[in-house]
Amino acid sequence: MKRELPDLEGMRILVMDDDVAIQRSLGRALRGLGAEVGCAGSLREAGLKLESDRYDVVLADLKLRDGEGLELLPLFQKHHPQGCFYLITGHGSVDNAVTALKHGVRDYLQKPVDPIDLASRLSRDMAARHGSVLKNRLDPYLLFQDPVMSEALADLPRFAALDEPVLIRGETGTGKELVAMAVHRISPRATGPFVAVNCGAIPESMLESELFGHEKGAFTGATKMHRGRFEQASGGTLFLDEIGEMPLQFQVRLLRVLEDGEIQRLGSEQRVRIDVRIVAATHRDLNEDVEAGIFRRDLFYRLDVLPVQLPPLRERKGDILLLAGHFLRRTFEEMGRDSGLPTFAGEAEELLYRYSWPGNIRELRNTMTRLAVRIPDNMQEISAEFLQKLLPSPGSFQDGKGGDFIPVPADATLAEAQEILIDAALKRSGFNRKLAAAMLGLGERTLRRKLNEK
Ligand SMILES: Nc1ncnc2c1ncn2[C@@H]1O[C@H](COP(=O)(O)OP(=O)(O)OP(=O)(O)O)[C@@H](O)[C@H]1O
Ligand SMILES: [Mg+2]
């Protein structure tokens, strides 16, 4: 009987086995079905690959030269939370099987592994994990079905094919980082590294060596030569996250590097050519920052070549149930729960739609995690009352019914009262200025001015 061959197109798989023959034979078979396959013979080698590259699937031998395959699970989960990790075992029983499965190992596979059975299994598991996404083929991690989102991402495949900078804008938690990864994965640079830098998280004094690297002895404490993120990302994509937080002084250095296509490691005279594609992201209104003189206009134009604007979740409500189901399912899997997934009652769905989700998808994900933990085994339907307990106070609902009670001391001055209200609005909006301004009935500029006056 002829078996239908599974399609692994676009799937990235890391085979970890110290037996080179197995690496080769599995690698060849999986590649033949469309997957991209990396191989590693030791934990160390596999660790390096996981750090620098994105894999959807890890196939790990139980025992490797320098340790146990399972030791890599936390690293894999950290970098690729939505991937599938399988252990390949030589013989029958495994002591810690149950614990491992609870911690997120997808399954144990017995040697010898039949490549076609394995491929069918991988294709089924990935499809189940990513739901309808595989159908839209943009990127298996990026879930959406709302036309507003399809519209927002319509240009992405064309953008990805070019080598120009992409600038992703969107409120906090709207998926900017995920979209940046998608750009990389569907670009011709997909086999190169994806390196992310959070520009707001690196102290100004470290930016230079962090991005451009340094030579040994370049400064006290520089005991070894260090390649900066630009060099690490060579051949791939450099993701400059929170670009709006980059200190003004440093922006000019960055601009120079982008224009020249060369860097100099700190303490070195030598210029190194760089080969990276830049994707930048910000939750700030950069146009406004340019007007306010806190973001350089020339750098802005250099980055704002291929723009992507991610809509907030409240403007793509068609994705709410899809994502809620996805996050619930994922948490159930992570907890090793095999009881069926409950559905949302009509009124609970209504509640999910009415809530404004100021923290967007991240907030939805966190809410679903908390919900999953509380759902008792026998629950088949999640009621509105049950869900309500996990959502913030009624003030955050879009229809504006009810509201938080914020005490303002009777002897407060108008300025003090204003400050209290502004703080509360910022907190309620998840520190999203645009949203906070809207809640206060102000323009974003006015709010910014008031904050600067504080
Ligand atoms: N379309 C999506 N499908 C599945 N998961 C998503 C989607 N969008 C976002 N997520 C998940 O939501 C979380 C937040 O996304 P991400 O970190 O990309 O947001 P962000 O815009 O970079 O946020 P911030 O501005 O706070 O850094 C992540 O766990 C991400 O995997
Ligand atoms: Mg981010």
What CATH number does the domain containing 323 carry?
Answer: 1.10.8.60
Distance 196 CA to ligand 2 centre (A): 10
What CATH number does the domain containing 90 carry?
Answer: 3.40.50.2300
Does the beta carbon of 170 lie inside 6 Å of ligand 1? yes
Residue whose CA is closest, atom 12 of ligand 1?
Answer: 362
**Helix/strand/coil (H, E, C) string of 39-51?**
EECCHHHHHHHHH
Q: Which domain holds residue 344?
A: 314-396
Let me know the angle formed at the C-alpha of 283 by 282 and 288, rounded to the nearest 5 degrees: 90
Does the beta carbon of 282 lie inside 6 Å of ligand 1? no
Residue 242 and residue 107 in one domain = no
Residue 243 and residue 174 in one domain = yes
Residue 381 and residue 304 in one domain = no
Q: What is the pLDDT along the chain (454 residues), one digit of tens a residue?
A: 445 677 888 789 999 998 888 888 889 889 888 888 999 999 999 988 888 888 889 999 888 888 888 889 888 888 777 788 998 887 655 666 666 777 778 888 888 888 888 888 888 777 766 543 333 456 678 898 888 998 999 899 889 999 999 999 999 999 999 999 999 998 999 999 999 999 988 888 889 999 999 999 888 888 898 899 999 999 999 999 999 999 999 999 999 999 999 999 999 999 999 999 999 999 999 999 999 999 999 999 999 999 999 999 999 998 999 999 999 988 998 888 877 889 999 999 989 988 999 999 999 999 999 999 999 988 999 999 999 988 876 545 554 333 445 667 777 788 888 888 888 877 766 677 777 777 777 778 888 888 877 6
Domain assignment present for residue 404? The answer is no
Residue 154 and residue 267 in one domain = yes
Give the number of domains in the chain.
Answer: 4
Domain assignment present for residue 136? The answer is no
Domain C-terminal end among 267, 291, 309: 309
Mutate to test the pocket of ligand 1, among 177, 366, 431 (most ligand atoms within 8 A of CB): 177
Does the beta carbon of 178 lie inside 6 Å of ligand 1? yes
pTM above 0.75, yes or no: no
Q: State which residues have CB under 5 angstroms from ligand 2, the bound ion.
A: 177
Check residue 26 and give left, alpha or beta (phi > 0: left; psi -120 to 50: alpha). alpha
Residue 172 and residue 286 in one domain = yes
Distance 279 CA to ligand 2 centre (A): 12
Does the beta carbon of 58 lie inside 6 Å of ligand 1? no
- Please count the other Cβ atoms lying within 10 Å of the Cβ belonging to residue 32: 13
Q: What is the Cα Rg of the chain in Å?
A: 25
